[in-house]
Amino acid sequence: MKNAKLALKTTPEAATTPVQLAPGLAFGAEELVLIGGPCAVENLEQMEAVAAGLRASPVQALRGGAFKPRTSPYSFQGLGVEGLQILQQVGRRYQMPIVTEVMAVSQIPDVVAHADMLQIGSRNMQNFDLLKAVGETDKPVLLKRGLAATLEEFVGAAEYVLSRGNPHVVLCERGIRSFDTFTRNVLDLGAVVVLKQLTHLPVIVDPSHAAGKWELVAPLAKAAIAAGADGLIVECHPQPDQSVSDARQALSVDAMAQLAGDLQPIAAAVGRTLSTVDGTAQLAA
């Protein structure tokens, strides 16, 4: 990794540099960061139902795609700016920071204006112009591992963002392509251990896109925390089988809240904590 100057740490024991997502909430601190929400933002009611169902659980942040990278150009491509507005409105109302994907340099101003964290999707992990451009913002960046990226390529992609002056990069292992098609991808938990030892960047795991099947998500999520991940991003939907994208891997909102609670003993076993959210907190107008 001789070309990674800013991402690497000097010894495996050196500390992770926390990346702040919101006041009092950072990736790479003792407290784990859990992000939940649908694959795609579909409408206001859907996002309200997700936020309302998760806010009393240890899930602190919301996800939802407004710009969707779909395999087919005929599939739903996302609500675009309207989706960003829904995310921002619900995030403010429920006081939950928003993580959403930016697919192109031209979308950056709109995503920066509405979201708390910019997600770079797997398919764009080596879109160097996009990496450089998010590197010129001051927003935290969630960089997902490419579908077939080596760890050297993954760290190199993070280096692009860091080298442009944005130090707020979080890595996300989301499964890689292999020969077995039973699961959508193969979750590489070895990569989590390597990246935590090699880099000072926080590392989180997306068990949803790794598994591709909802019934595999909770066990993989638990394994990820046991392996030392700093958090999780998990897809859930008020009516999973009605999801316009990635329905097969979507948890129900209740199952997501249950999973977040079930992570507690595993978090404690590896010296981490999970947030305790006051579900009775006043909603913002």
Residue span binding ligand PEP (CB under 6 A) among the ranges 118-126, 194-202, 215-223, 251-259: 118-126
What string marks each residue from 27 to 56 as x (binds Mn ion by CB under 5 A) or -? ------------x-----------------
**Of 69 and 261, CB closest to ligand PEP:** 69
* Chain residue at closest Cβ approach to Mn ion: 39
Residue span binding ligand PEP (CB under 6 A) among the ranges 105-113, 121-129, 253-261, 267-275: 121-129
Q: Is 121 in the site for ligand PEP (CB under 6 A)?
A: yes
What string marks each residue from 232 to 271 as x (binds Mn ion by CB under 5 A) or -? --------------x-------------------------
For the chain, the three-class secondary structure string (H helix, E strand, C coil) is CCCCCCCECCCCCCCCCCEEEECCEEECCCECEEEEECCECCCHHHHHHHHHHHCCCCCCEEECECCCCCCCCCCCCCCCHHHHHHHHHHHHHHCCCEEEECCCHHHHHHHHHHCCEEEECHHHCCCHHHHHHHCCCCCCEEEECCCCCCHHHHHHHHHHHHHCCCCCEEEEECCECCCCCCCCCECCHHHHHHHHHHECCCEEECHHHHHCCHHHHHHHHHHHHHCCCCEEEEEEECCHHHCCCCHHHCEEHHHHHHHHHHCHHHHHHCCCECCCCCCCCCCCC
Query: Within 26-55, which residues bind ligand PEP (CB under 6 A)?
Result: 39
Residues that bind ligand PEP (CB under 6 A): 39, 65, 69, 121-123, 144, 174, 206, 209
Residues that bind Mn ion (CB under 5 A): 39, 246
